[in-house]
Amino acid sequence: MEFLITSTLNGVIYGMLLFMVSAGLTLIFGMMGVLNFAHASFYMLGAYFAYTLSSIFNFWIGLLVAPLIVGIIGILVERYLLRRVHSYGHAHELLLTFGLAFIFEELVKLFYGDYPVNYRMPDDLNFAAFNIFGTDYPFYRVFIGGVALAMFISLLLMLNKTRVGIVVRGAERLPQIAQALGHNVPLVFMGVFGAGAALAGLGGAVAGAFYPTNPNMALELGVIVFVVVVVGGLGSLTGSLLASLMIGLFSSFAVGLDWSLAGAFDWVGLGDWARSVGGLLTMSISSISGAMPFLLMLIVLLVRPAGLMGSKN
């Protein structure tokens, strides 16, 4: 029971963090069709800007202003780089963002050094939210979950209930008609890209204080964020949330499970044989918990090629 509750709690919060970072990517892909490889770099920039701002002013100003700066960088990237290659198709956009990811990483090293910086949550947030089975549960984890939830709800409401949402969806579905109706479609795209980048920046500002802020953070989270978007169904916000939670829970439960293929062979009485063979057969799930998201992606792609909530299933 303890295992069940603790693992669920940990998995859900980690899932919310993943959602926080992948929401922007989902938005950009869903609305613009751009697969933004530099997305995790915006997450990293958010963390670094928040670090700088929080050391000059305070943590909360960092949390609010850093996403805005990242958003502006996103707008500049869209306006001056992506828009130029847009007419050459998606492959060029993808390659451009791929290159940007490397440039951002080396730039961060240039300005902030190779080592993790000392970006920490303020002391008044560093307390235990509650105690569960004798273990403190850090409040900041709950805070991360809360921010992610707020992000999800406001994005959903904005896209589905407001005029801005209608224009954005219209510009994505039928750009020429939207343009004919007098909407500035390039401006809409620029705004969407900026907003997506800002969301990643907010994710970085929040998560960077809990996980170390270092030049590798984009690399570490970058791949998994893609897995979230693919599993969720490219472009679906609800799908992303679902995928994030699944990956969070899968990874969390896998750590505690000492299952192996040899254990499965026990059912047919071949357990001892399997253990004597060793290798893959005795590898426990816990030692490959990091591969869980990719396993999940494989299965989802085989069963539902467009992802869990993808529109083209």
Partner 1 sequence: MLSNKAVLTVAGASMVLGMAVASSAQAETLKVGIVESLSGSQTSTGRLYATAARYVLEKVNEQGGYNGDQIEILEYDNGGNTSGAAAKVRQAIADGVDVIIQGSSSAVAGQVSEDVRKHNIRNRGDEVLYLNVGGEAMELRSNKCHYHAFHFTSTAPMRVGALTQVMSEQGGLGDRVYSINQNYSWGKDMQEAIKARAEEYGYEVVDTVLHEVNRIQDFAPYVAQIKSANPDSVITGNWSNDLLLLMRAVGGAGLDDITFGTAFLDQVGNVANAGQGAMGNYVAHLGNIELLSEEFVNDYQSVTGHYPVYVEPGAVNGIKLFTKALEEVDFEGGDIDVNQIAAALEQTTLETDLGEISIREGDHQTVMPVVVSRVSKDVKYPVDGTDMGFEPIEVVSAADAIFPLQESCRMRRP
Residues that bind partner 1 (CB under 8 A): 2-3, 6-7, 10-11, 13-14, 17, 106, 109, 114-118, 120, 128, 131, 134-138, 140-141, 210-212, 214-216, 219-221, 224, 248, 251-253, 255-256, 286-291
Closest distance of CB 200 from partner 1, Å: 15
The smaller minimum CB distance to partner 1, of residues 74 and 222, is found at 222
How far, in Å, CA of 281 to CA of 275, rounded?
7
Dihedrals phi, psi of 118, to nearest 5 degrees = -90, 70
The smaller minimum CB distance to partner 1, of residues 34 and 38, is found at 38
Closest distance of CB 218 from partner 1, Å: 10
Closest distance of CB 197 from partner 1, Å: 21
**Do the Cβ atoms of 199 and 23 come closer than 8 Å?**
yes
The smaller minimum CB distance to partner 1, of residues 13 and 70, is found at 13
Show the tokens assigned to 60: 């909360």
The smaller minimum CB distance to partner 1, of residues 41 and 214, is found at 214
How far, in Å, CA of 108 to CA of 130, rounded?
37
Closest distance of CB 219 from partner 1, Å: 6
**Do the Cβ atoms of 270 and 277 come closer than 8 Å?**
no
The smaller minimum CB distance to partner 1, of residues 134 and 269, is found at 134
How far, in Å, CA of 247 to CA of 299, rounded?
13
The smaller minimum CB distance to partner 1, of residues 136 and 161, is found at 136
The smaller minimum CB distance to partner 1, of residues 193 and 210, is found at 210
Closest distance of CB 147 from partner 1, Å: 16
Element housing 96 (H / E):
helix 90-112
How far, in Å, CA of 12 to CA of 6, rounded?
10
Nearest to 21 by CA among 198, 160, 279, 162: 198
The smaller minimum CB distance to partner 1, of residues 18 and 185, is found at 18
**Do the Cβ atoms of 44 and 104 come closer than 8 Å?**
yes
Closest distance of CB 141 from partner 1, Å: 7
Closest distance of CB 58 from partner 1, Å: 18
Closest distance of CB 14 from partner 1, Å: 4
- Roughly how many angstroms between the first and final C-alpha of the chain, as a whole number? 37
Query: What is the phi-psi region of residue 182: left when phi exceeds 0, alpha when psi lies from -120 to 50, beta otherwise?
Result: left
CA geometry: angle 198, 199, 202, nearest 5 deg = 85
DSSP letters for 270-287:
-HHHHHHH-GGGG--GGG
